[in-house]
Structure 1
């Protein structure tokens, strides 16, 4: 079936989803969660084949980690769907309303986009997250995963479609596009009029290609060169814990810290501690000359290192002489994703928050908290680094548009 045909079927499904009650949608989400658990073995069979092929193909450890599913990860996806079912339905929410001087009643309400296309790389969990969040927000989903996860995504989509249909909604609310060639991506990007919005989720090259080539409106998610700045007024015990959690809790995510900045006033006390912790955790530090004086294991950092989203056991590091210098460094190399400051100074935290331009700014907290689930949004469709209607973790409201409803009583404009 062509992408055009699938998009037409998605458009029909979106009509039913747009008027479905919250109870119907929540029943479907819970059925999807139950089906994932009941059919975990067949999902893992497909995933095992993908992982084996990825290893043979020489994919990096980070990419294989993103690709891999376990019983625990499938259970976590099911739990995310249950949490989503418990969230308020954004559709029909009144954003604002008023009575105009002429007596007209004006309301702005949330409505679904309609058909949402998602292009993503080797992360099968996105298949479930995207399907669930689109369904709850009343949108049909066209999913185009990577060829590396083709069998995993096919198994997951089959499970989800069966559960959706059993719950009384159209199975075409969730469709998987062919991932064997780039043609399906090109067709999806040209399906303006059938697809309402396109969301790329993956590496810099994928996002750039979709943003530059698509005629369908795009919500841009971004890569994460996330920084942790350890201020002169930092509690160093907190700083070590936050830096290590930000970097090592999971290496392959966009909210993992890739850069460390340390104020010169605490460098002597802090850097030996954190470098030893990195060494114990197997993390390679790419440092500037000042960082390198604290350990022979530090690798000289290049411009590319300071700009890198490693997604691996690597981190860049530099010593700065002021908070202002840290902000300048972040502005130069950051990707407007997540930036963190560790400090006991309220004034320093306020200055950092005011001057750092990012979708999320953490004060004395790990960068790993920039996540729809951690923010209480349920599963997210992605983390937007743009500055349009959606920025940061995109939950249910970000998957809606609005329309105005104007109610009068034979009102005529003069």
Structure 2
């Protein structure tokens, strides 16, 4: 057995023991632990920011992309947002123990479906140090133990955030092993997590396509996956022109490196003002790659090739196409989208409802920026990621998404005839 394999086995056993202890922890204790963790994140700001600077220096030396650097970077403002997110999770309603439904059978048996934690969660992620705090907070609040494995590019930042979080957890009387961080950069540790059936109950990958594909290909435990954010905005022929410009520019350019950023803009061929729309995007610093009809709108536009429609740029680059009505827009999305977030901009309520009904995406929006595809914006607090699958949880995965249910049957002595 290799050293990484033994490491994950040991961590898994500790996590299972911690999970068993968490089942007897009160809601108030879990909330107190997260409030303490948030306080320690703030108290250790200088240590965390110094660790992040070391990661940033190394990342620049490795020539990581601007979008990766943006995801990696922590400043005082972002650290405060991380701590505030942990604090917010502490005041959210505890899903554990909630009765989903209750029925009484003719024989008097009372049947209940009750929310329970998933167990031990393994989370494998890249770049974003905030995931260390978000994932730990959500897992703990929902009664789960968690094993975190971040990317090598953020190892210093993740370690500093982890240390602060665990200090708060222990201070509140919860088991330290409820939150564990794999602190080796050996990629074999990832493979060991994927094969840890019986120790880890579910794996959640959060990162690029290659990471998610590896997890899905190799995992011997269930996977809750988040694939590309190839998000579309369709500008209907009846769209308000000011709304269309504001939404499109924000959706693309607010932060280009997040999974909620728009990557393809579809403009109805009967929309009366495509020129001002694309010029606003170009003037904001966005490169536009368009089809033949779009190329005629501005000389700065370059020709798109087939690969552009299937690309998550995570950069100030946008593919743009003209489409013949909502049916063609939906067909384009079905062929090239990733089932993440798709948006229609229109003042036609019937058209909007048609789009909402037929778009097969985890998140569908009407007259709003795709950058709202975020658990915090949904009122869910921090999030583990956006699930683009169809089973268990879909869209922003927060507290409820980290629970399952069990049946509880209450009788008065019934026996089956």
Q: Could you say which TM-score interval applies, normalised by the shorter chain?
A: over 0.9
Q: C-alpha deviations, 1:184-231, integer Å up to 9, x for none?
A: 101100110010110001111111110111001111112100001000
* Number of the residue aligned with 1:34: 39
Q: Per-residue deviation at 1:270?
A: 2.6
Q: Normalised by the size of structure 2, how large is the TM-score?
A: 0.97
Q: Per-residue deviation at 1:153?
A: 0.5
* Number of the residue aligned with 2:317: 314
Separation (CA, whole Å) in 1 of partners of 2:185 and 2:366: 44
Q: C-alpha deviations, 1:6-64, integer Å up to 9, x for none?
A: 11101111112222111000000100111111101100111100011101101000000
Q: C-alpha deviations, 1:249-287, integer Å up to 9, x for none?
A: 111111100000001112xx4322122222222110011
Among candidates 232, 244, 261, match of residue 237 of structure 2: 232
Q: C-alpha deviations, 1:154-194, integer Å up to 9, x for none?
A: 11111111110001001111111134111110110011001
Among candidates 214, 221, 228, match of residue 216 of structure 1: 221
- Residue 284, structure 1, aligned to residue 287, structure 2: yes
* Partner SS, residue 257 of structure 2: coil
Separation (CA, whole Å) in 1 of partners of 2:351 and 2:264: 19
- Structure 2 runs not aligned, ≥5 long: 1-5
Moved over 4 A (4+): none
* Number of the residue aligned with 2:48: 43
Among candidates 57, 69, 72, match of residue 67 of structure 1: 72
* Number of the residue aligned with 2:341: 338
Contact 1:145 1:179 (8 Å CA) reproduced = no
Q: C-alpha deviations, 1:123-152, integer Å up to 9, x for none?
A: 000000000000000001100000000010
- Residue 143, structure 1, aligned to residue 184, structure 2: no
Q: Normalised by the size of structure 1, how large is the TM-score?
A: 0.98
Among candidates 18, 22, 25, match of residue 30 of structure 2: 25
* Number of the residue aligned with 1:358: 361
Q: Per-residue deviation at 1:408?
A: 1.1
Contact 1:146 1:179 (8 Å CA) reproduced = no
Among candidates 91, 98, 122, match of residue 103 of structure 2: 98
Q: Per-residue deviation at 1:405?
A: 1.0
Among candidates 381, 385, 389, match of residue 384 of structure 2: 381
Mapping 1:122-141, distance limit 5 Å:
122-141=127-146
C-alpha RMSD over aligned residues: 0.9
Separation (CA, whole Å) in 1 of partners of 2:296 and 2:49: 48
Separation (CA, whole Å) in 1 of partners of 2:359 and 2:118: 31
Separation (CA, whole Å) in 1 of partners of 2:283 and 2:346: 25
* Partner SS, residue 265 of structure 1: coil
Separation (CA, whole Å) in 1 of partners of 2:169 and 2:302: 52
Separation (CA, whole Å) in 2 of partners of 1:42 and 1:370: 31
Separation (CA, whole Å) in 2 of partners of 1:128 and 1:270: 44
Separation (CA, whole Å) in 1 of partners of 2:273 and 2:339: 26
Q: Per-residue deviation at 1:100?
A: 1.1
Contact 2:288 2:302 (8 Å CA) reproduced = yes
